[in-house]
Amino acid sequence: MVSPFTLRFKLLFYFMQTKTQQEQVMIIRTAAHLGMCFGVRDAISAAKRQAAQGSLTVLGDLVHNPGVNSELKRRGIKTTRHYQNAQSDSVMITAHGTSNNTRRALEASPLRVYDATCPLVHHAHRELETLVAKGCFPIIIGVEGHVEVTGLVGDLEDYRILISESDFATVPTHPHFGIVAQTTQPLDRVRSLVAAFQATFPEAKVEFRDTICQPTKNRQRAARSLAEISDVMIVIGGKHSNNTHELVAVCSKHCDQVHHVQEASDLMDCWFQPGDEIGITAGTSTPEDQIQSVIQHLENLAHRTPSRPAQSGAEQFTRAPWAKVEV
């Protein structure tokens, strides 16, 4: 017969063990909005559809994701920066868009032209054209040299591209300014810059058109909310993807450990500890299979708990169930 003391000891040991296991549960959460947006998805579908009918050359990277572009290459889709170098009778404008001057040059060429420009990038172009038609001096908040920004300014004789208040010094005096933003810029940054611009040029009329796309806004807000409750944030996306870089910046304001990866093989086990709450978000060019492979890697890691340090300094792992995934 088990004595009351022994029974109490066993129950206490059981509850302590259960509490320890609960404290070691790794929670993996995905952002409410993440991954490929409709504009990128449509561009990829259009490229695959046209490539199935004949040879196709994309004028630049269709999207800023190396995995996606590698898949397109395997389908025989070629890439060039200049349409004069196209190795096919058909070319495609990327999701980032281009200038009207380039469009007219393409239309005058013997090439068959397919336009995969995101509708929300088209919207930014129209808003900028409207402001210029009203006599505004054009201001673009964005990353100089980015293909979308290059397309936006490609039809303008004079303009300024701003990314920080230090750029205000380059702006000429003018009675009327018109401001638009690269579609993947953070809303908080853009609003702050517009307010600072108005304060810097109080005598001028300043018109701002919000051209940040809704998918970008949704992903940045969701990433911020998730980063606030996470020990580690994983941001999945191409190294040259501006919207992915912006997600990293947003997360870094609210989480001490933020890692930008392109694929699951970039993950390092030393980033994670038992009991960590891990958040996952992804840029608008990141396909679902890349997101799922990262989740799978973390699920596998979550079933290994550290035992003792190996001689190399790395940790050895033993199997132990401590994963919980929240989508």
CA 115 to chain centre: 22
Asked if the model's pLDDT at residue 55 lies above 60, the reply is: yes
CA 174 to chain centre: 35
> Which residues make beta-bridge pairs with 26?
323
Q: Which CATH number fits domain 19-36+215-326: 3.40.1010.20, 3.30.1360.70, 1.10.3720.10, 3.40.50.720?
A: 3.40.1010.20
**pLDDT for 99:** 96
Rounded mean pLDDT of 191-195?
97
How far is Cα 37 from Cα 303, in angstroms, rounded to an integer? Answer: 32
**pLDDT for 38:** 94
Asked if the model's pLDDT at residue 22 lies above 70, the reply is: no
**pLDDT for 4:** 56
Asked if 19-36+215-326 and 120-212 have one fold, the answer is yes
Tokens (6 digits) for 58: 């994309």
Grade residue 275 by pLDDT with cuts at 50, 70 and 90.
confident
How far is Cα 197 from Cα 212, in angstroms, rounded to an integer? Answer: 18
Q: Could you tell me which of 315, 231, 228 has the C-alpha nearest to residue 268?
A: 315
The beta strands (E) that lie in the chain are given as: 26-30, 57-59, 78-80, 90-93, 112-115, 137-141, 160-162, 176-181, 205-208, 232-236, 257-261, 277-282, 304-309, 315-319, 323-326
Greater confidence, 252 or 324? 252
**pLDDT for 314:** 31
Catalytic: 148? Answer: yes
Rounded mean pLDDT of 138-143?
97
Grade residue 317 by pLDDT with cuts at 50, 70 and 90.
very low
Q: Please, what CATH class does the domain formed by 120-212 belong to?
A: alpha beta
In a 13 Å sphere around the CA of 254, the CA atoms on its Cβ side amount to 18
Cβ contact 125:153 at 8 Å: no
How far is Cα 101 from Cα 121, in angstroms, rounded to an integer? Answer: 16
Q: How many CB atoms lie within 10 A of CB 66?
A: 16
Tokens 């017969």 locate to 1
- Map out the domains of the chain as residue ranges: 19-36+215-326, 38-117, 120-212
Q: Could you tell me which of 301, 313, 232 has the C-alpha nearest to residue 264?
A: 301
**pLDDT for 26:** 86
Catalytic residue among 127, 129, 144, 148: 148
> Which residues make beta-bridge pairs with 235?
260, 281
- C-alpha pair distances (Å), 158 with each of 11, 138, 205: 77, 8, 18
Q: What is the per-residue pLDDT across 154-181, written as a single tens digit (0 to 9) for each?
A: 999 999 999 999 999 999 999 999 999 9
Q: Cα angle at 142 between 57 and 227, to 5 degrees?
A: 100
Bridge pairing between strands 323-326 and 26-30? parallel
* CATH code at 38-117: 3.40.50.11270
**pLDDT for 5:** 53
Q: Could you tell me which of 238, 311, 308, 303 has the C-alpha nearest to residue 272?
A: 303
- C-alpha pair distances (Å), 155 with each of 57, 129, 151, 162, 226: 24, 9, 8, 18, 40
Asked if the model's pLDDT at residue 50 lies above 70, the reply is: yes
**pLDDT for 109:** 95
- Helix and strand numbers, DSSP H then E, in the chain: 10, 15
On average, the pLDDT of the chain sits at 87
Q: Cα angle at 88 between 83 and 94, to 5 degrees?
A: 50
Grade residue 322 by pLDDT with cuts at 50, 70 and 90.
very low
Cβ contact 75:51 at 8 Å: yes
